[in-house]
Amino acid sequence: MIEISPRSSVGWQAQALAYVLALICGFATSALLIALSGASVTEGFGALYEGAFGSQEALLQSLVAATPLIFTGLATVIAFRAEIWSIGQEGQMFAGAMCGYWISLVLGAVTGWIAVPAILVAAMLGGAVMGGLCGWLKTRFQVNEIISTVMLNYVIVYLLSYLLAGGPWTEEGSTSYHQTPVFSENIRLPLIIAEVKLHFGFVLALLAAALCWVILKKTPLGFEIRALGFNPTALRFKGVNVTRTVLVVMCFSGALAALAGVSEIFGVNYRLRGDVMTGLGFTGIIVGMIGGLNPIGTVIAALLFGALANGSLYMNVLSDIPPSLVPAMQGILLLFFLSASVLVRYSIQFRRVAQ
């Protein structure tokens, strides 16, 4: 029988050790997975490393791949810190990209310094409305936010499918690809390093992380968010409008997730299509949790996962291992991190107990 009791305090060394151990266990299990699939472990991990960190170019491309994950990771942090289990990052990201595209159609050939901010704002509004809707359903009708956000994820995917395949945004002449025509220069995100498409979204992501850190640590809203997760009843007694806080959190989280869509569509792909965004919202959940629901930890986790995602492209070319190894690895890492977080918070004793 395993006995678990809470620990009073843990040093940062023990915490760091637990997480390093989780990382090692995660990679060891993934190695086992590769071996079981009949491929060479060294070849697979070698190609993965080479593609992620092997050259300066690879390194910069990993930053590009990390950018949307920083946004969806931060969206997770803001919601989960308040113990609001939103898994709508995927749908909110789609909604953001769609609203950004829609406003770009409305604006037409306006110059870039008007068009790009307008796209960013429209996308954030779209994501905020999606998130806010679930917050409203939660506070007004007690609809569980996990359910409402998951269901809206499916709805928005079908909506995009309609718009691109048969609906008003269908590219003329193109039937096989569900995508819009390539965007004109004026609505693309400005590039920082053109060769690897490192775009302005990366800077924006770092700024967003800093903003989230300041909000969580230094502002009354941050206090309310943390207290909401800790003890909503006490918060209510302090005279805080909990309903309003939930709505603010969900809108804020949705707006952050929406920026992930903008950065992928307007920074990298230059056309709206669904499959290039698929999964980035869900990966953001893992990133946020592995980042310890802390903005700085989230940036670090996003950089790691961005590198993995970028490396998987190279691995796909060089070895027989399918690139779907990476989502499997991400899930494995997450479960080990969850277990490690328990090791940190509780002390575990093994002893015999009857029945």
Partner 1 sequence: MTALLSPEILMSIMVAAMGVATVILLAAIGELVTERAGIWNMGVEGTMLTGCLMAYLAMVATGSPVLAGLTAIAGGLVAGLLIGFLTVTLRVDHFVTGLGFNLLASGLTLFWFRSYVGGGKPPTYDTIDKSPIPLLSDIPVLGPILFDQHLLTYVAFLSIPFIAFFLRRTTYGLETRAAGENPQFLEAKGLSVAKRQYSALLFGSALTALGGAFLMFAFADQFRPDISGGRGWLAIVAVIAGNWRPVRTMIAVLVFAILDSLAVHAQGVGVNVPYQFFLMLPYVASILLLVMIRSSSGQPAKLGVPYLRH
Among the residue ranges 50-58, 106-114, 234-242, 283-291, the one whose residues contact partner 1 (CB under 8 A): 283-291
**Cα separation, 300 vs 62, whole angstroms:** 12
Phi, psi for 170 (deg, rounded to 5):
-65, 135
- Residue 253's H or E segment, with its range, is helix 242-264
Rounded to 5°, angle at Cα 152 from 67 and 165: 80
Query: How many residues of this chain bind partner 1 (CB under 8 A)?
Result: 53
**Cα separation, 49 vs 322, whole angstroms:** 15
DSSP 208-236: HHHHHHHHHHHSHHHHHHHHHHH-HHHHH
**Cα separation, 158 vs 113, whole angstroms:** 32
Q: Among residue numbers 210 through 269, which ones bind partner 1 (CB under 8 A)? A: none
**27 part of the interface to partner 1, by CB under 8 A:** no
Among the residue ranges 59-67, 204-212, 216-224, 282-290, the one whose residues contact partner 1 (CB under 8 A): 282-290
Of residues 48 and 329, the one with the C-beta less far from partner 1: 329
DSSP 160-175: HHHHHTTSTTPPTT--
What is the contact mask toward partner 1 in residues 48 to 87, using x (rule: CB under 8 A)? -------------------------------------x-x
Q: Among residue numbers 301 through 330, which ones bind partner 1 (CB under 8 A)? A: 320-322, 324-330
Q: How far is the CB of 136 from partner 1 (least distance, A)?
A: 10
What is the contact mask toward partner 1 in residues 119 to 148, using x (rule: CB under 8 A)? ------------------x---xxxx-xxx
What is the contact mask toward partner 1 in residues 167 to 206, using x (rule: CB under 8 A)? x---------------------------------------
Which residue among 24, 155, 191, 210 contacts partner 1 (CB under 8 A)? 155
CA distances from 181 to 98, 105, 164, 171 (A): 14, 12, 10, 6
3-class secondary-structure state, position 322: coil
* CB 349, CB 2: distance < 8 Å: yes
**Cα separation, 335 vs 302, whole angstroms:** 17
Which residues lie near partner 1 (CB under 8 A)? 2-4, 33, 37-39, 85, 87, 137, 141-144, 146-148, 150-152, 154-155, 158-159, 161-162, 166-167, 282, 285-286, 289, 320-322, 324-332, 334-335, 338-339, 341-342, 346, 354-355
